[in-house]
Structure 1
Amino acid sequence: MLANRETIQMVYQVVESKGYIDIEATGSSMSPFIRDKDKCRFIPFKTTDLAKGDVILYINANGELIGHRFYKMTKNPDGVKQYWLKADNQPDFDEPVLQDQFIGRLYVIERKGRIMEPSDLGMRLWTALILNVPFVPTLLKRLADKKQYKTLSNSGNVSSIMEKINK
């Protein structure tokens, strides 16, 4: 979700006043853990409480709201902490994220009236699989691309997906 400066400020204000923010997921980068149109609640957190596998909502350098999985923290040559996140079905990491880009950590997902927490057994198993089996994100990316291709080919718009796949 692309956000302008006013929207970003509003997001921070909502989190500060309510103690959470609900965001409707768009896209498939975290599928099947988070699916398009899932309602995701993010809550504030301390970076000292951040654990590998947590899903973090942040604002990237392009002003997009992104919810991706935390993997590790490093320090750049100047000693500034950088956080490494990535989508579940992408093999590559996002650009490093700084602490001031964080909005919140995933608390619950609402899907078709059902509430799921990251601590639920199925969610924990999925997280362990994603974190520990290196080929799973690449496999998921290929499956997502095939699904997107099938959807677009049924609508007659194949050229745009072929351009994406061939990049």
Structure 2
Amino acid sequence: MRFDQNTVNLLKATIEKHGWIDLPAEGFSMYPFIQKGEICRFIRFDHRNLKKGQILLFYSKSGKLIAHRLYRYEKGHYILKGDTNECLDEPVSPAQVIGCLESVQKKKGMIMMHKPFPFLYSQAVVSSPFSARLFRFYLKRRLDEAL
């Protein structure tokens, strides 16, 4: 689904007013950490408290909403990537960022991003160049079994 600037501004205003916004996950780029249909809660984006491995919600130049993991900050832009993607995203300007992931509502409960497991998981993912291939392999097997 494509979003225009008015919709993006509405999402940002909702986070500013209420402190958060819940959005359902689509796609497989953050699999297995975030799976399709799970509810992701995004809070206000604060660049001062940003850490490598955090998941940011941003809109791409083509108008897509994307939630990917932060790898680094470089030349005034954020460098992000989905966990199952092999390539980094195009650099994202701070103005493109809408929010930061706070929690994921899964079938078996809520995962809070400030807890030790999500933090350690994120550090492992951004530190291992082979994690994307492993996740893609696992995802392909899961999708083949479902068919």
Give the TM-score normalised by the residue count of structure 2: 0.90
Please say if residues 72 and 78 of structure 2, whose CA atoms lie closer than 8 Å, have aligned partners that are also in contact.
Answer: yes
Task: Give the 5 Å matches for 1:118-129.
Answer: 118-129=113-124
Deviations 1:54-94 (A, max 9, x none): 1000011111110000010111xxxxx01100001112100
Cα root mean square deviation, aligned: 1.6
Deviations 1:80-111 (A, max 9, x none): x0110000111210000000001111111111
Percentage identity across aligned positions? Answer: 31
Partner residue of 1:96 out of 91, 95, 102: 91
* Mapped partners of 2:143, 2:37: distance in 1: 16
Task: Give the 5 Å matches for 1:17-166.
Answer: 17-75=17-75, 81-112=76-107, 114-151=109-146, 154=147
* Mapped partners of 2:137, 2:61: distance in 1: 27
Opposite residue 140 of structure 1, the aligned amino acid is F
Please say if residues 25 and 35 of structure 2, whose CA atoms lie closer than 8 Å, have aligned partners that are also in contact.
Answer: yes
Q: Any unmatched runs of 5+ in structure 1? A: 76-80, 155-167
How many positions carry a matched residue from both structures?
A: 147
* Mapped partners of 1:51, 1:122: distance in 2: 15
Opposite residue 124 of structure 2, the aligned amino acid is L
Q: Any unmatched runs of 5+ in structure 2? A: none
